[in-house]
Amino acid sequence: MNFLYQASVLMSDTCPQLSATYGKLAKAIGKKAVLRMEPAIKRTLCVRCGVLLNPATTADIHDFRHKQLCYVQVNCKLCGYSKRFYNSKNHQLWLDNPSSIIERIEFQAPSNS
């Protein structure tokens, strides 16, 4: 998955269709292997077509600020899909939450006697 994501990053400027193919393939392999992508990486790929969302080349980014509501809207130039990421001060990702950790296992190097 890491190699396909890196290939998608490299091809996003020159050939967005190939970048979309690599992004979709990385998502499909992650589903088949039952692996989860890091949220920061997942947000850089388009949900619909899989292209890497680079500002000004493959995506348009708009920042909206209102009284109570603040969000960033990302529009994919390849397929036209738009997604909103809300900004709230007290929002915390589930992975950053201490209650998301079920068990912690620490490994020790074998000692040579």
pLDDT in tens, 6-52: 999 999 889 999 999 999 999 999 999 998 888 888 889 999 999 99
Distances in whole angstroms, Cα of residue 65 to Cα of each of 24, 60, 68, 89, 92: 32, 17, 8, 13, 20
Closest CA to 45 of 97, 71, 7, 94: 7
pLDDT in tens, 62-71: 998 887 788 8
4 in helix, strand or coil? helix
pTM value > 0.85: no
Beta strands in the chain (DSSP E): 59-65, 70-76, 82-86
Confidence (pLDDT) at 18: 93
**42 vs 113, residue with greater confidence:** 42
Please tell me the distance from the alpha carbon of residue 57 to that of residue 35, in angstroms, as a whole number: 29
Confidence (pLDDT) at 103: 79
